[in-house]
Structure 1
Amino acid sequence: MTMARTATNAEDLAALCRQTLAQDGPAVRFEGHWTRWAQIRAVASGVEAALDAAGVPPGAPVAFAPRNSPASLAAFLPLLAQQRRVRMLYPFQSPEALAAQIAGCEVAALVMERGDFAPAVLRALAAAGIVGIALDPGGAAAVGARAEVRAALPCELRAPALEILTSGTTGPPKPFAIGYDVVLGYVRQAKALADARTGPAAPPLLCFPLSNISGLYSLAMSFLRGERVILLERFSVAAWRDYVVEFRPPAGGGPPAALAMILEAQVPREDLASLASFSTGAAPLDPDVRARFEATYGIPVLQTYGATEFGGPVTALSLDLLRTYGADKAASVGRPFGGAKIRIRREEDGALADAGEVGRVEVISPRMGPEWIVTSDLGLLDADGFLSLHGRADGAIQRGGFKIVPERVEQVLLAHPDVAEVAVVGVPDARLHEVPGALVVPRDPESPPEVRVLDAHVRAHLPATHVPRAGVSPAHFRARSRSRPTGARCARFWSGMRYRRTDKGQGALALARPIATIPAKEMGAGAWLRRRSTPAISTSTSGNRSRVRNCASRSRRTTSVAGCTRCTTPIACIMILTSRARDAGAA
């Protein structure tokens, strides 16, 4: 795309945001109260005034860590109207982790809710010469020590864009630029849908985090073009059910975790009678959960496939496709749309796969350009062109909409002085598909680190979605069996565990029976866990060794923590931790 075209798109989007800000009447309903457009304008004007007063040049890039709140929604508009390059950050992480991210940002200012400016963040801003702009319900203002704004910023001459952290579809998460032309395309798509609609429409429900691609997509399809919206801090069954009952929308949607939550809450079937379908995406969906939801409510579940790197969804299952091709396609993520193309490449020899063969998914997304985008997703295309997904080629843990690279969590845990060895795996979860779990070998088996200490350590370096958490079961065992592991042994090991949810919504991995009571012959060569195939740990305690192999069934990858082949010396203490699964809001 030419610079002239890029400039025109930025100008068009800026003009649209100014037009949206000029409206009157109700704008955002949040926690039962309506925020009017006059209040949205007050916050937007406050952001512009605070940036100007702090000496931030009009073209300078800024960082933005929005929460799902009316003030954060309001702040989006002036940042886009000023045609800035905006680096999106996640607010749901520890102050220390956010401070570390800020130190690496080439930005002039950080905009976020006032309550998120913790001392660690303020110190990082002062050290980097970045201005803090705090959002309040009625305005915005600079916070912290006044530091000199950076005089020279490498991003100044780059095209306006939103830099969003990828979920890991094409590799480790990284900032990825979504141009103003892509955002403007979302707006135009929404306008076309609105023009084709007959009768009044329910106000859109926004429940995805505003800092990721799903949140941006839903925001641009509604609020940016001046629609009044219903905003949730995060998805909750009660709020979603109230929305459906009050406004009776013809279709519903939410993160995949929402389906299990709705079933668990036993929402009455009649409450959802208006819904002809439920759309979901951004994360794997358990086929059993989908089948139970459809059987319980008679509502077809329509899945999509997209990623930040694609600029949004590229395939979708529709009611028309389902009616035409039947229930056999219900588990798929549909067909490509909007000019997108999908192909599958075999991992064994790199050749293009035939219909029905599983391989690595490659995508052309016209929003982003004509090049093929190579992903780490495994999938197959059937003879009718429907895409089905079959896990990951890189062993990433798929926690809701986040792909967590195990090595990243392992590196952080290994940096703790009380940790000798560690392996991080994906633990099955009915709502989020997987949550990260860690096997930790302490340096001192007689005095292992407490869970809260490891939790705080990881939380200080990584987003909350990466934190292995809650539920610890130390035990000694002797690894006597040296036979090759099988899928059955994996299943038997995991059958000794159950995932429970406390009254506060905190997930915990508990042992149905202690590790010490599980016969070694059931565990194979130690504790076999579903995992990637790359080596993870090498235990030094008493000459013990660790091995990583694939299951004989070849259905899953596994990790073993095994005793030495020359003796039966037990390997210290093993702690099993799993992540907090507070709800689907971070999914």
Structure 2
Amino acid sequence: MHRLVALSLGGGDRFVTELQRAWDAGDAVLPVDQRLPAAAQQSLIDRMGASIVVDAAGRHRRRGGWAVEPGDALVVVTSGSTGEPKGAVLTHAAIEANAMATSSALEVDPTTDRWLACLPLAHVGGLSVVVRALLTDTPCEVHDGFDAAAVADAARRGATLTSLVPTALQRTEASAFRAILLGGSAMPAERPQNTVATYGLTETFSGVVYEGWPLRGVELRAVGDEVQLRCPMLLRCYRDGTDPRPDDGWFSTGDAGAVADDGRLSVFGRVDDMITSGAQKVWPVAVERILAQHPGVAEVAVVGRPDPEWGQAVTAVMVPADPTNPPSVDELRDAVKSQLPAYCAPRAIELVDTLPKTPLGKTQRWRI
């Protein structure tokens, strides 16, 4: 029987060793986020049906787990940005396809390049770095999460490639790396030329679209404004056995977007996030990009609030840079109207101390 092995370990050499050990035995691996409280980690392990747990104290068998299929490599928990997380079952063939396509796009040379994995290994942003390094025999340094000083030191010692989220990029000397894969949340309005904006999902084991262009073997289309993709990187199913792929293999991402005639993808945001105000469609991400550039805005999320006249009122939920002197709604409206139609401008502001986020910094809009 092929088992699911839960790796309840921080980033480092032991994680990589135990990952390879499980694969050599024909087992699949569930990385467990070490930032979760102990009770939440145990609940996750139970829900995903792991038969073995590897933690700081050793290797433990547990009852109640169930088998994985031959060829299964990973069960990676989705970020939960839209609700309850799910476990995406990824095969060895899928993760190899991802590793090879990524390495080809970046022209990775194992003799001169060196990967740095400095994002949490329970999510594809960090885990995919380790996996593609293993599968391409490219040297890799694995950190236990992001630390700006440690990242700078790794670059001085020869790391040339890494994967970051925008919040980490702000604390990194980007020029120290040959290339930086950037994903996880909305891209900064301005960013270094050696960064690569990626689009992908847990279900594709990280980015499969670079700067709007699909990687080798990836097909894209938009159906009813929703992005769909078909590629060898896709999950086999979720851990509960449900298969989100129809017979033709096209996976509905839940993201709104469009594919241009030349094949380039534009993503507007989650389909469920779209605001309909006075019969007009407003995509929150486009408005947020403009508001985030206002000096009085530290963080912002745009949502639709019920409104008797407009159906939904465009509302800016904002963390002000200076809580004693937040920008006015008229200031923010003027900023948006300078770049977008007037109906996209917020009609109200809600001031908050923080915005709810996933561990990788994605705003959990459904909780606002």
TM-score (norm 2): 0.68
1:66–1:223 Cα change, 3 Å: farther
In the alignment, which residue of structure 2 is the partner of 1:162? 74
Confirm or deny that 1:260 pairs with 2:173. no
Q: Distance in 2 between matches of 1:104 and 1:187?
A: 28
SS of structure 2 residue aligned to 1:173: coil
Correspondent of 1:361 among 227, 231, 252: 227
In the alignment, which residue of structure 2 is the partner of 1:99? 42
Correspondent of 1:177 among 81, 89, 99: 89
In the alignment, which residue of structure 2 is the partner of 1:280? 182
Equivalences for 1:27-426 in 2 at 5 Å?
59-112=2-55, 114=56, 134=57, 140=58, 142=60, 149-150=62-63, 153-155=65-67, 160-167=72-79, 172-186=84-98, 200-223=111-134, 226-247=137-158, 249=160, 253-262=163-172, 267=173, 272=175, 275=177, 277-287=179-189, 291=190, 293-294=191-192, 299-317=193-211, 334-346=212-224, 359-368=225-234, 371-395=249-273
Confirm or deny that 1:578 pairs with 2:366. no
* Aligned 8 A contact 1:62 1:107 in 2: yes
In the alignment, which residue of structure 2 is the partner of 1:45? none
SS of structure 1 residue aligned to 2:114: coil
1:236–1:432 Cα change, 3 Å: farther
Say what the alpha-carbon RMSD is for the aligned residues.
4.6
1:581–1:60 Cα change, 3 Å: closer
Q: Could you tell me how far 1:82 is from its partner in structure 2?
A: 0.9
Confirm or deny that 1:512 pairs with 2:324. yes
> Structure 1, residues 106-157: CA drift from partner, whole Å, max 9, x if none?
2322222x2xxxxxxxxxxxxxxxxxxx3xxxxx355xxxx8x53x754266
1:184–1:300 Cα change, 3 Å: closer
Counterpart of 2:126, as a letter, is: G
Number of equivalences: 319
> Structure 1, residues 275-326: CA drift from partner, whole Å, max 9, x if none?
5654312322132xxx2x34xxxx3432121112123322113xxxxxxxxx
Alignment gaps of 5+ in structure 2: 235-244, 275-290, 331-340, 364-368
Q: Could you tell me how far 1:585 is from its partner in structure 2?
A: 8.4
Q: Could you tell me how far 1:231 is from its partner in structure 2?
A: 2.1
Q: Distance in 2 between matches of 1:212 and 1:248?
A: 21
SS of structure 1 residue aligned to 2:221: strand
1:235–1:383 Cα change, 3 Å: same
* Aligned 8 A contact 1:169 1:376 in 2: no
* Aligned 8 A contact 1:281 1:304 in 2: yes
Alignment gaps of 5+ in structure 1: 1-57, 115-133, 135-139, 318-333, 347-358, 397-427, 438-480, 501-510, 524-550, 561-574
1:585–1:246 Cα change, 3 Å: farther
Q: Distance in 2 between matches of 1:186 and 1:162?
A: 13
* Aligned 8 A contact 2:3 2:68 in 1: yes
> Structure 1, residues 350-401: CA drift from partner, whole Å, max 9, x if none?
xxxxxxxxx21111122338511111211222232211211211239xxxxx
1:166–1:226 Cα change, 3 Å: same
Tell which structure's C-alpha radius of gyration is larger.
1
* Aligned 8 A contact 2:4 2:68 in 1: yes
1:86–1:276 Cα change, 3 Å: closer
More helix by share: 1
SS of structure 2 residue aligned to 1:304: strand
